[in-house]
Amino acid sequence: MWLPDARIRLIAVIALTLPLAGCFRPMYASLDDGASPVIEELSRVNVAPIDERVGQRVRNELVYAFSGGEATDAPYKLVVTLTHHIEDAVFQPSGEAVTKTYELRANFTLIEVETGQVLYGGSALSRAAFDRTTQLFANQRAERDAEDRAARVVAETVKTRVAAYFAARG
């Protein structure tokens, strides 16, 4: 049963937040003319090549997320560096690891090409677990799948942070 003061508090919260409802706009929202400034800015970002297979996977995910293809004559460049390692997570009584965790960390900087000025930077982290068996191919495939899962998460995190930068910049 609601207490009278609980109703008053609920009405007060609604009354105070209602005027703010028009102040928030979804990050990818279109303006009245149908254009989305964040999506347009993302499509103008060129992602620099990243070393190794996992780096190429992250880059491909970012290029596709930003514009669906290579940005030509882009005013912005995104530089991403990756570090990764594998940790033992679950052990058998014999001491052998049966589950491992792949950790992928990305440090990124958004650079204005014309001036070379760093506009924004940050990092993203992802962990993906995979099981180990007695089969060599199954182990290799499980590790590669974990790398791919981690790459997707890192790319999505980087994309969201860069988009938030463009949204905040206006």
Residue 135 and residue 144 in contact, taking contact as beta carbons nearer than 8 Å: no
Is there a domain that residue 64 lies in?
Answer: yes
In a domain, residue 26? The reply is no
Count of domains observed in the chain: 1
Residue range of the domain that includes 39 = 35-169
pLDDT of 72: 73
In a domain, 161, yes or no: yes
Residue 56 lies inside a defined structural domain of this protein: yes
Higher pLDDT, 99 or 150: 150
Distance CA 67, CA 158 (A): 14
Does the residue 23 lie in any domain? Answer: no
What's the pLDDT band for 97 if we cut at 50, 70, 90? Answer: low
CA angle 137, 53, 74 (to 5 degrees): 155
pTM of the model: 0.77
* pLDDT(28) > 60: no
The CATH number assigned to the domain holding 76 equals 3.30.160.150
